[in-house]
Amino acid sequence: MTFHALHSGWHLTHVAGDVPETFAETTRSSIPATVPGVVHTDLLAAGLIPDPYIDDNESALAWIGHSDWAYETTFAWSDDGEAIHDLVAHGLDTVARVSLNGRELGRTVNQHRTYRWRLGALLREGDNVLRVEFSSPIAYAREREAVLGERPHSYVHPFNTIRKSACNFGWDWGPAVVTAGIWRDIGIEGWSDVRIAALRPVIGVDDDPRRVDVHVELEWQALDADAAGTGAREIVAEVAGARAAASVAHGDARATLSLRAADAELWWPCGYGDQPLYDLRVAVGEVEAGRRIGFRSVRLDVEADEDGSPFALAVNGRPVYIKGANWIPEDTFFPRVTRERLAERFDDAVDANMNLLRVWGGGIYESEDFYDLADERGILVWQDFLLACAAYSEDAELWDEFAAEARDNVARLTGRASLVIWNGGNENIWGWVDWKWRPRLRGATWGDGYYQRLFPEIVAELAPTTPYSPGSPYGFSSYVHPNDPAHGTTHIWDVWNQVDYDVYRTYRPRFVSEFGFQGPPAWSTLFSVVHDEPADPYGPLMLVHQKAQDGNGKLERGLGAHIAAPRSIEDWHWATQLNQARAVRFGIEHFRSLHPLNQGAIVWQLNDCWPVISWAAVDGHGHRKPLWHALRAVYADRFVTIQPRERGLAVVLHNDTDAVWDAALSLRRIGFEGAVSADEPVTVSIAPRQAVTVPVPDTVATASDPARELIAAELSTEERALWYFAEDPMLALEPDGFEASAVATDAGYEVRMTARSLVKDLVLQVDRIDATARVDRGLVTLLPGESETFTITAPAGIDPHVFTAPGIIRSAGDLNPVRV
């Protein structure tokens, strides 16, 4: 079997659609095109459009999504000795007509599928012309809405009528840059006699993590009548020292081989063990196919108990407390996302002590690189089917596309050690119950058939050992509200949208699969794309990069009593970043303190797809926001927090490791200048994967001066939690209660900070010196006399003292009102 990639020699032409005079040059001739790629990136590379991410170029370029485009290449072909040739397109975005040498091969209406067309005599010796014509996805979506009927959906365009990434039409964190193009590999596959059409390993059969059933689909070359049906072939599967073989006759479409790799080591999530992976090889004669697999079993417990219904994952029989983040596409222009870029985000996840990423339903089924990295790093994957925040028609045309898309991707991803749950969609069941859809639908279908019948049937057939959830949020009962925190998964969005983040403490959720709070990206990221003069949170170009409804108003109201009103654009940027980190940390500390009632949280969101004010922990240029540093602390394996309880304050310790956590715990009430008013020692022992609660004695819990005291719960194993008796504006924080020094090193730079008095939530905004600069820690609180060294990676030649300048070093204290 051979594969000839068709990635060179392409040209792009505007076919139809109104083009503003400013961009008339784009219609005059074809331009070179990159495949895989999309129209926007080709126009950008040709210098015909400005960067869509800068200022308000997004709206200036909206015409691209309303236009029709054509990709064309001429390629030379000569006989390669194979009997059959297929054109294989792994991703066409989205409404396409494909032709070879002037003859139509087929049409597509689904971005999320692989397509295959038999070429036969259309493929000729010498030059061949391959053409892919793309119709406007916006026009197609509106046309189908007129046929299928209008159904509720978020935002402007009816993305629920077309099988294209929903967020590509714009979201409350993403731009509406509606793409078209050959976005994944395309090429000619040649084969003879037999082709392994699909290889689907099902791991953990009968709850045995070392057992794998290898399902193989075969396609055979048609033989003449005299030769048809003659002979048999051996099909062999091998993995981790185990081997199985069977006989298949010519024309057999399927074969299943069962193996038990007794000597294989088990695959574990990060923090629970190693991630050994093994090469699975399947051969029919000389034809081979393979995958890399890990051995593990997965269980999801949703059975009712006295507190409601849990949502608890177990891998290899061991419960796993989930510390996760939601994942959106890493770039609005999907072909620009490389393995290296994905690896950086996985570094962000692992370094923040995360163990799960949820691939959200408004995005895409991710690349092989994504799942490879998840398998290698031990990051569990929760995979949504791609439906989000909308009602979906169940008419045959969409039903058939959903079925083909689901079968394609479930089969592709079955056998991934990291993939531990398939989820029917995002907020659609909740929408039907709570968002006043029913009067508008008037009895029309809305998607329930996908969540309750189509998807679970496909998962049960193709991935029977992987758990399935109909939606997120979901209560796992017809008689339970889908967003009831006591049952299954819950999304908490009244915080951010309506109420203060202290409301998190009113929840007792079994599992939180979405929640979060907004904050701006790094200074250099934000002002690389926003050029209002003067800079203003409400400047017109700033608001292009704030997609949430009344987003800036919510940011400012969200400061509440926690942080004083900002006095400058610099303070606004820092205050809202800090508040984002504080809000999310507040929520997760509370959720973890409820363990084992609570079995995890998945914050919205890890990453951004462009430079924007959003819920992300890592911005569109790869800068780790203060939120990321908060997540690293609150997702630590050994976690300690001080929480209010009915009888007063308590220290809660959660040991998410396999070792007993024995430590001496010191409970101290300390003045901001260092004086200790009370000190109570306690010895604690926390069993593996368990939590304990220790009451705080009244001598420590009662402040004599709430504005100048705090509680420190400090362990001999170096973990620490702090409690303040008042919000920041009421605290006597010094804006510059520290000494700072900086030096250049062989690896970059170091800044040494020493506190004279309490320094709360210390951050170095090193990107303001150089946009490529990174710092290894943030949100550091120093008690009087304590020191911390910050390591900075930045280009050589910078005067190190600039890293200690006012405006680069920020803390909670420099936001406080000036005290007379």
Residue 231 confidence (pLDDT): 74
Among 293, 324, 351, give the residue marking a domain's end. Answer: 293
Is residue 251 assigned to a domain?
yes
Whether residue 350 is found in the same domain as residue 204: no
**Cα–Cα separations (whole angstroms), residue 60 to 51, 65, 530:** 11, 11, 15
Whether residue 248 is found in the same domain as residue 331: no
Whether residue 485 is found in the same domain as residue 608: yes
Amino acid at residue number 78: S
Helix (H, G, I), strand (E, B) or coil at 809: strand
Is residue 677 assigned to a domain?
yes
Nearest Cα neighbor of 634 from 660, 600, 659 is 600
Nearest Cα neighbor of 489 from 506, 513, 466 is 513
CB-based contacts of 176: which residues, under 8 Å, 6+ apart? Answer: 58, 62, 65, 155, 156, 157, 169, 170
Is residue 541 assigned to a domain?
no
Is residue 574 assigned to a domain?
no
Distance CA 601, CA 595 (A): 11
The pLDDT tens digits of the residues spanning 453-478 come to: 999 999 999 999 999 999 999 999 98
Residue 184 confidence (pLDDT): 98
Helix (H, G, I), strand (E, B) or coil at 240: coil
Whether residue 281 is found in the same domain as residue 428: no
Residue 1 confidence (pLDDT): 79
Is residue 205 assigned to a domain?
yes
Residue 230 confidence (pLDDT): 60
Whether residue 387 is found in the same domain as residue 463: yes
Among 726, 760, 776, give the residue marking a domain's end. Answer: 726
CATH (domain of 657): 2.60.40.10
Residue 98 near residue 73 (C-beta atoms within 8 A): no
Whether residue 438 is found in the same domain as residue 341: yes
Residue 820 confidence (pLDDT): 34
Whether residue 149 is found in the same domain as residue 210: no
Task: List the domain range (segments joined by +) for residue 645.
Answer: 638-726
Whether residue 610 is found in the same domain as residue 475: yes
Distance CA 251, CA 423 (A): 35
Element (H or E) spanning 40, and its range?
helix 39-45
Among 293, 328, 347, give the residue marking a domain's end. Answer: 293
**Cα–Cα separations (whole angstroms), residue 801 to 524, 752, 772, 785, 805:** 19, 11, 17, 22, 7
Whether residue 77 is found in the same domain as residue 107: yes
Long-range interactions of 437-446: CB distance < 8 A, separation 24+: 437/151, 437/152, 437/391, 440/150, 440/151, 440/152, 441/151, 441/152, 441/391, 444/149, 444/151, 444/391, 444/393, 445/392, 445/393, 445/394, 445/395, 446/151, 446/391, 446/392, 446/394
Phi, psi of 590 (to 5 degrees): -65, -45
Is residue 101 assigned to a domain?
yes
CATH (domain of 318): 3.20.20.80
Whether residue 209 is found in the same domain as residue 268: yes
CATH (domain of 789): 2.60.40
What pTM was estimated for this model as a whole?
A: 0.96
Whether residue 149 is found in the same domain as residue 239: no
Is residue 558 assigned to a domain?
no
Distance CA 579, CA 603 (A): 15
Whether residue 603 is found in the same domain as residue 684: no
CATH (domain of 72): 2.60.120.260
Give, in degrees to the nearest 5, the angle at Cα 254 between 250 and 255: 95
Is residue 799 assigned to a domain?
yes
Phi, psi of 59 (to 5 degrees): -70, -35
Domain count, the chain: 5
pLDDT along the chain (820 residues), means of 10: 93 96 88 98 97 98 97 96 96 98 98 97 97 98 97 95 98 97 98 95 95 96 61 93 95 95 97 98 95 97 97 98 98 98 98 98 98 98 98 97 98 97 97 95 96 98 98 95 98 97 98 98 98 97 97 96 95 98 98 98 98 98 98 98 96 98 97 96 97 97 96 97 97 93 96 97 98 97 97 97 95 79
